[in-house]
Every structure is written in structure tokens, then in C-alpha cells.
Structure 1
Amino acid sequence: MALLSSSSRCRSACGRATSRRSRTVRVECMLTTKQLRSAAAALAASATLALAGPALADLNVYEAEAGGEFGIGSAMQYGEADVQGRDFSGQDLRRSNFTSADCRNANFKGSNLQGAYFIKAVTFRTNFEDANLSDVLMDRATMVEANLRNAVLQRAVFTRSDLKDAVVEGADFTNALLDKTQVMALCKYADGTNPVTGVSTRKSLGCGSQRRYKASYPSNPDGPQVADDEKDAFRKTLPVYRQ
């Protein structure tokens, strides 16, 4: 109020200053008015921040404590993060985001990564042993020498990914999408049976005859389709928006 009153007095003085001698006074009054208006705007902005500050802080604390997406505590965000060598073993990381993350030498052994995002991620020598990688999007990822021993990779997408020298003993690639050249490379040494699903690694990759290879991918309408119980299991992992 005091700032507004001072501004009004200055405008009145400027209006009365009509002579040549008083032009200097008018200019000074105009400058003073601008300064007062700037001070009033700054004061109003400070008051707004003072009121919003605690509310925003409380919201940030709430989100941090809730964890994950929709408060379910599993969909964590590591997009473009540097998580080299970090230990994620045995964690619930369903639908988590590791897009373009640097996961070199990280440990995901025994973790539940169903539906997670590893698009363009670097997983050089990353340990995915015994992990659940079903429905994972790992296209265009660098998976050189990654450890996929006994991992469940059903319906995962690995198109344009580099799995050179990856350990796939006991891995289940049922209904997964891989480039033809990548499948041919893996079939040269793929072996073992997944201890969880009981599926042969070579069979899940479609290693063998051309006929079996063509019928081993869901993109082929005559190939194997996802079972209803697998669809139901995936739906149960989705967040509930409304009751």
C-alpha cells in the first residue's frame, strides 16, 4: 500500500510540473515511478514464492516417498542415467525406464524387469542372470557379452540390438523378436534349458530348419501365439487407474 501511495503522489507531482524549470522534476518523478512499480512487482513475486514454496516441497517429498510410477514402487526412472556397476539384483523393477542408460557391468541378477525399457541402452557385460525380462523393449541396445544365463526373455524385443558373445545358456526367447542375423549367430552356440519355463534355448530361438525358424516368431500369423494365461499374468502387473 505504501508503494502504491508513493507512486500516486509521484504521478500528481509529474502532472503539476509544466514549466521548463520543472521538466527535470518530471523526469525524476517518472524514474521514481518506474522504480516503485518494479519494487512492487518484485514484492508480489516474493510473496507468491513464499506461499508456493512449502506446498511444492511437500509435493516433492510425497513423490519421493511414494516411489515409482503411480505410487506402486516399481517403475523407476533411470533414463540416460549412468548406472555403471550398480547393484540392482533381486529388485522389483517392472516397467522401469533405462532408455539410453549406461548400464555397463551393472548387476540385475534375479531382478523382475518385466515390461522395462532398455531402448538404446548400453548393457556391455551386464548381468541379467535369472532375471525376468519378459515383454522388455531392448531394441537398438548394445548387449555385447551380456550375461543372459537362465533369463526369461519371452516376448522381448531385441530388434537391431547387438548380442555379440552374449551368454544365453538356459535363456528362454519364446516369442521374442530378434534380427535374423542375430538369431543365426546365437544359434551357433545356444544351449541349455530354462529352469523356470522348462523351454530349450535353441527351441525358443527357432534354431534348426528354415521352416521352424519362420514359424517361431509372433510376427508370423501362422507362428505361435501368446497364451491367454500369459496375457492375464501381464495384465495383473499393470497399474489400476480406477476402481
Structure 2
Amino acid sequence: MALTMRRASVARPAVSSRSRTVTVQASAAKHLGAGAAAVALAATLSLAGPALADLNAYEAATGGEFGIGSAMQYGEADIQGKDFSNQDLRRSNFTSADCRNATFKGSNLQGAYFIKAVTFRTNFEDANLSDVLMDRATMVEANLKNAILQRAVFTRSDLKDAVIEGADFTNALLDKTQVMALCKYAGGVNPVTGVDTRKSLGCGGQRKYKASYPSNPDGPQVQEDEKEAFRKTLPTYRN
């Protein structure tokens, strides 16, 4: 008798009508087969509609990843010919995006992701591409005139016939064969950093070439002010 009374005294958790609906739909789908399961799933997802709408509205108001309004998402997007001129796009994601003939002239793209992106004839003139990950990207005939490319990663990328007059490649990572190809016509001085393009690429003799990469302990090292500039681009989480 005592055991029975104790069980009766335990309060059962409240079950909302929505939870009952979802449970009934899931149970019905289990017995009615795949076709009914699809119908039940659609009905279940419809119940979450208002909640998802509220979440999307919140994310849109937030303006970017980790609360950084500049971190836009264009991964695998088709943005051919789009105009992104003079925008703050730091740490934005363009991974595997089709950026052919798009324009990023004068934009701040520091720390952005262009991994495997197609940037054929894309205009990056006067853009800040410092710390950009652009490995395995197709950059054929891209316009990098006067662009800042410090510490950018271009490993296994194709920069054939890219315009690099006045571009600053200081401490950037490029394949040796790519550097040799660019050095055949590299020239100019970056108007912002004052760095000679050929010098930033390490064009010249073999000894000078070997000493021009940060991976070489005898080569140039990243300065403290450059490290601090990179730290300032790191996410700031909301309190």
C-alpha cells in the first residue's frame, strides 16, 4: 500500500498538445510506411516554423558570424559579376564560390576564405587581402593591382596571367613554380605599404629566393605590429 501511494504522489511532467501531436505523427508514420512518414515529417517540421523564423530574424539582425558584422557567408555561392566594391568583408567565407568577373575593388577582405574559389578575371584592385586563405583557387587573369597580400596563402593556386603590378606579397605562401612565373613580369610598388612587388615575391637570385619565405628560419619573420594587426581581426564574443 505504501509503495502504491508513493507512486501516485509523484507528479507526472506536463505534456503539451504540440508534443502529443508530434508523438502521434511519429507513431503513425512508423506503422504506415515510408509515404506516410514523409507526410508526418512535413507536418512535424511545420510546427517548428515560427521558432525557425524567429531564429532567422535574430541571425539577420546580428549581422554576421560570432557577432562580427563583416563575416558574410558566400560558400559555394554563384556570385559571378557581383559588385562588392569598397565593402568591409573581413573573415567572410567565399569557399568554393564562383566569383568569375566579380568586383572586390577597394574592399577589406582580411582573413577571408577563398579556398577552391573560382576568381577568373575577378577584380581585387586596391583590396586588402592580408591573411586570406586562397589555396587551390583559380585566379587566372585576376586583377591584383596594388592589392595587399601579406601573409596570404596561395598554395596550389593558379595565378596565370594575373595582374600583379604594385601588389604586396610580403610573407605570402606561393608555390615555387608560381613565384618563378610571376617574377617574369612582376613590377611596381604598393601605394599603401611602399613595398616593391618583386622584392615581396623574392624575385632574384636563388640565395635571395630561399631567404624570402617565413618558413625558412633565416628568412623574414612576422613583425609584432603585423601580429597585433591580425589579433584585432579575431572574433569578439558577445557578453
Is the radius of gyration larger for structure 1 or structure 2?
A: 1
Q: Is it true that 1:220 corresponds to 2:216 in the alignment?
A: yes
Number of matched pairs: 207
Q: 2:178 aligns with which of 177, 182, 187?
A: 182
Q: Relative contact order, CA 8 A, sep 6+: which one is greater?
A: 2
Give per-residue Cα distances to partners, 1:130-172, cap 9 Å, x unaligned.
0000000111111000000000000000011110000000000
Give structure 2 stretches of 5+ with no counterpart. 1-19, 28-39
The code of the aligned residue for 1:102 comes to D
Equivalent in the alignment of 1:159: 155
Distance change >3 Å, CA 69–CA 38, structure 1 → 2: closer
Give per-residue Cα distances to partners, 1:157-214, cap 9 Å, x unaligned.
0011110000000000000001111111111110000001000000000001111110
Equivalent in the alignment of 2:25: 42
Equivalent in the alignment of 2:49: 53
TM-score (norm 1): 0.80
Structure 1 residues 1-243: aligned runs within 5 Å: 41-42=24-25, 52-241=48-237
- How far is 1:49 from its partner? 5.9
For 2:173 and 2:183, how far apart are their aligned partners in 1?
A: 14
TM-score (norm 2): 0.81
For 2:177 and 2:22, how far apart are their aligned partners in 1?
A: 69
Q: Is the 8 A contact 2:22 2:44 kept in 1?
A: no
Q: CA RMSD in A?
A: 2.4
The code of the aligned residue for 1:138 comes to M
Identical aligned residues as a percent: 86
For 2:225 and 2:150, how far apart are their aligned partners in 1?
A: 13
The code of the aligned residue for 2:63 comes to G
- How far is 1:67 from its partner? 1.8
For 1:226 and 1:144, how far apart are their aligned partners in 2?
A: 28
Distance change >3 Å, CA 164–CA 38, structure 1 → 2: closer
For residue 56 of structure 2, give the secondary structure of its aligned residue in structure 1: helix
Equivalent in the alignment of 2:6: none
Give structure 1 stretches of 5+ with no counterpart. 1-36
